[in-house]
A and B are shown apart, each in its own frame.
Chain A
Amino acid sequence: MRTRFAAVVAGALGVAVATAACGSTGGSSSGTSANTTASKVNFGAQNARLCGSAVNTTPHYTNTIGTISGGAKTLSGAGSTFAAPMYDQWASSYNKASGVAVAYASIGSGGGIAAFQANTVAFGDGDTGMTPAEISQAKGGAVLQIPLLLGAVVPTYNLPGIPAGLKFTGNVLGEIYAHKITNWDDPALKKLNPGVKLPNMPIAVVHRSDGSGTTNIWTNYLTQTSPTWVSTLGGPSKSEGLTVAWPTGIGGKGNEGVSAAIAETKGALGYVEADYAISEHLTYGQVQNKAGNWIEPCIATVVPAVDGVKFPPSLNTFLTNGSNPDVYPIVGTTYALVYEHQTSKATAAALVNFFAWVLTAGQDENAKLYYAPLGASLQKLAYAQLKKITVNGRPVA
């Protein structure tokens, strides 16, 4: 009896350990690697020419403001995940250059706006700035919106065996997100991609679960190009925004969560900022722009998005669906949110110093993470905003 019992227990524990060992080695090869053929880019010769062309990614803007003394040693900011990798990089470089530690929390544009309104952070960041209604809710009064970079929102997918470069139109993307196209081998997708053997697999739509400027840019584009999307959501006022009532899909937290969900889910399609897709070796596609050309998202096709755009005094405007024949249609910027009338000289000085650096020396680093630096005219407008910051009525810069 005792030996039989001992044998049972030993056997059970042995099975337990063996299963665990199998689990630990077998499980590690889960779906984190999205696509072994991801390196085989398939965007066509035209795009190879466009994206290979030289772009000035180190404009070396001059910092005429200089360093203001008396700035705080730490700065607290929060917001957009679209720009978060760049903020992390800027913060690290700026810390080496000045010793100031800028703590940026990547919580989404909605979070950045909320924290900024509640004045729980020194600055916020939203990819689509703040609406007049949101500004009226901000505790600190008048708000300056300062664009800092240009980036692309790219349709990213996880299809084993399918390389990068799948073609999408705005309308097809809208229909996918409206849950009208539900399978990868749908005729609409096959028509756009005649040479590709699309699998018979349900599309795992991925969107944001948090309030997101990336969503705002994406849905703004869908609203302009997909009548199906607009009607499914119930009209143009409901089909775009920081959050929308997504008819279907997996919700990821931040660009980080969406890119992770795409990487882990076979058949996934989601929208993320280009750095996330490229750094994580995910496959993304090309989109047809307003002029009818199929454009690959890269720095060269992002920069023309500001052509012909009339920036209002607040600098807040969309950059999607540009008319330049070589422009990628889903481009956005990110707006740092700063109160015009500051109450603390130390914070004000730290803010001006940091953003003056970001808009000059910092711009030379954008391309390292696949963002585009601001063009000269937009940079000048952004820089001018810094000069409006005052403390107790006196300008800081």
Chain B
Amino acid sequence: MTVPATTSTSPVPVRSLQTRRRYGDRTFRLAMLGAAGVVVLVLLAMVVFLVAESWPALAHYGPLSFLGSDRWAPSDATAASTRPNPYGIVQFIYGTVLTSVIGLLIAVPMSVGIALFITGIAPAWLRRPLSYLVDLLASIPSVVFGFWGIFALIPALQPVVSFLIATLGKVPVIGGVFAGPFFGLSYFTAGIVLAIMVLPIVTALCREIFATTPADEREAALALGMTRWEMLRTAVLPRSRAGIMGAAILGLGRAFGETIAVTMVIGNNVLSITKSIFSTGATMASVIANEFTEAVEPFHLDSLFVVAMWLLFISLIVNIVGKLWVRRIRGDLVW
């Protein structure tokens, strides 16, 4: 803090120093808040632009007509006709939800088990390496998962799926869901890939949740003579149920938005919902990735923006719900 030279011999008045400091502080504060404002602006702009781009299609066909049909046939679209809406998006919502649910059904129990092992059973020296290894799965880029999925996973899945088709496919009521033929690219394959991609996130969250179990409760259980597993089952799991739910919801949000890996293994069948989980399909993200750069039919690009809008909307809802849920348990969770 330099003291400027003045013509008089008296010291610099304190007020001018304070003023300078105050203006400096104020500008700085405004700059910081401005940057924060940019963040808000970005999200608002995203929502506004997506709605604006999808508006022509929404106005032409009516907003609800998109949710009323599962038939996506851009070749049917003409500039004039408004009914039926050739851009029904229900099958994309179905594909997104189905693949994510398959992924979560596999990933969440595994994550809970792994997190229990890491926090409750593994010796201290093993905890960090194991967590690190599981987290490493999250670093692998999506395109690599898709590539590996095509050439390594699908051949490995063939015998498993053939077995499932031969057994579950014959069961009377639900047989249609597990019917063949299986050509490798399918909802099921995409679900497995999603499970692998979501596993590290859900595991990390569960680890944090289990770590909050008070040590004295665990020790009390052990003192009563329980085995490690019984201790986990009675002292850790019951109080963590809500947290696990929150972790699952956040994992769901991640699965919804996954684009490239899913596009590479799902088979891109956009016409309508296909019943079997072993048949080809599409998700909201995959149809956007596939058709965006080449949507020339009337209202095709606008309808893809409708899909993008719905994808953003659903992802945001799930993420917000998940965050609020977890925050309720962990307080202010910033991880």
Residues of A at under 8 Å CB distance from B?
Answer: 5, 9, 23-24, 26-28, 30-32, 78, 107-115, 117, 134, 137, 202, 204, 209-211, 238, 241-253, 260-261, 264-265, 267-268
Contact of A204 among B75, B150, B181 (CB under 8 A): B181
B153, B183, B184, B282 — which one has the most chain A CB atoms within 10 A of its CB? B183
| Cβ–Cβ < 8 Å partners of A243 in chain B | 74-75, 297
- Is B191 in contact with chain A by the CB < 8 A criterion? no
Q: Is the CB of A249 within 8 A of B269?
A: yes
Which one of B4-12, B59-67, B229-237, B286-294 is at the interface? B286-294
- The verdict on A264 contacting B271 (CB below 8 Å), with A110-B295, A245-B73, A249-B280 known, is no
Q: Is the CB of B296 within 8 A of A110?
A: yes
Q: CA–CA, A9 to B155, complex, Å?
A: 29
Closest B residue to A245 by CB, please name it: B73
A27, A109, A252 — which one has the most chain B CB atoms within 10 A of its CB? A27
- Is B69 in contact with chain A by the CB < 8 A criterion? no
| Cβ–Cβ < 8 Å partners of A244 in chain B | 75
Contact of B290 among A5, A28, A202, A251 (CB under 8 A): A251
Q: Which of B67-97 contact A (CB under 8 A)?
A: 71, 73-76
Q: Which of B160-204 contact A (CB under 8 A)?
A: 180-181, 183-185
Q: CA–CA, A107 to B152, complex, Å?
A: 26
Q: Is the CB of B75 within 8 A of A241?
A: yes
- Is B126 in contact with chain A by the CB < 8 A criterion? yes
Sorted nearest first, the 4 A-B pairs with minimum C-beta distance are: A251-B268, A110-B294, A111-B294, A209-B268
| Cβ–Cβ < 8 Å partners of A242 in chain B | 75, 296
Q: CA–CA, A242 to B295, complex, Å?
A: 10
- The verdict on A251 contacting B75 (CB below 8 Å), with A30-B154, A113-B294, A114-B294 known, is no
- Is B270 in contact with chain A by the CB < 8 A criterion? yes
Residues of B at under 8 Å CB distance from A?
Answer: 71, 73-76, 122-123, 126, 150-156, 180-181, 183-185, 263, 267-271, 280, 282, 290-291, 293-297, 301
Q: Is the CB of B75 within 8 A of A264?
A: no
Q: Is the CB of A211 within 8 A of B295?
A: yes
Q: Is the CB of B296 within 8 A of A134?
A: yes
- The verdict on A107 contacting B293 (CB below 8 Å), with A30-B155, A209-B270, A247-B271 known, is yes
Least CB distance from B137 to A in Å reads 13
Least CB distance from B91 to A in Å reads 13
Least CB distance from B269 to A in Å reads 6
- The verdict on A245 contacting B75 (CB below 8 Å), with A210-B290, A251-B267 known, is yes
Closest A residue to B126 by CB, please name it: A9
Cross-chain pairs A/B with CB under 8 angstroms, 13 sampled: A9-B122, A26-B155, A107-B293, A110-B296, A111-B293, A114-B296, A134-B296, A204-B183, A242-B296, A245-B75, A246-B271, A249-B280, A265-B185
Q: Is the CB of A23 within 8 A of B294?
A: no
Q: Is the CB of A250 within 8 A of B293?
A: no
Contact of A251 among B73, B270, B296, B301 (CB under 8 A): B270
A204, A209, A253 — which one has the most chain B CB atoms within 10 A of its CB? A209
| Cβ–Cβ < 8 Å partners of A112 in chain B | 294
The number of residue pairs between A and B whose CB atoms lie closer than 8 Å in the complex comes to 110
Contact of B271 among A5, A9, A108, A245 (CB under 8 A): A245
Q: Is the CB of A238 within 8 A of B301?
A: no
Taking A114-B294, A245-B71, A265-B184 as known contacts, 10 extra A-B pairs with beta carbons closer than 8 A to each other, sorted by chain A number, are A9-B126, A27-B156, A30-B154, A113-B294, A238-B76, A244-B75, A249-B269, A251-B270, A252-B268, A267-B183
Contact of A209 among B73, B126, B150, B290 (CB under 8 A): B290
Q: CA–CA, A31 to B183, complex, Å?
A: 11
Q: CA–CA, A264 to B123, complex, Å?
A: 45
| Cβ–Cβ < 8 Å partners of A111 in chain B | 293-294
Q: Is the CB of B268 within 8 A of A114?
A: no
Closest B residue to A211 by CB, please name it: B294
Closest B residue to A32 by CB, please name it: B151
Q: Is the CB of B269 within 8 A of A250?
A: yes
| Cβ–Cβ < 8 Å partners of A268 in chain B | 183
Closest B residue to A112 by CB, please name it: B294
Q: CA–CA, A210 to B268, complex, Å?
A: 9
Q: Is the CB of B291 within 8 A of A210?
A: yes
Q: CA–CA, A264 to B153, complex, Å?
A: 12
Q: Is the CB of B75 within 8 A of A238?
A: yes
Contact of A250 among B74, B126, B180, B268 (CB under 8 A): B268
Contact of A23 among B122, B152, B181, B301 (CB under 8 A): B152
Q: CA–CA, A143 to B180, complex, Å?
A: 48
Q: CA–CA, A51 to B183, complex, Å?
A: 34
| Cβ–Cβ < 8 Å partners of B301 in chain A | 114
| Cβ–Cβ < 8 Å partners of B294 in chain A | 107-114, 210-211
Q: Is the CB of B75 within 8 A of A253?
A: no
| Cβ–Cβ < 8 Å partners of B152 in chain A | 23-24, 27-28, 30
- The verdict on A202 contacting B181 (CB below 8 Å), with A23-B152, A27-B151, A251-B267 known, is yes
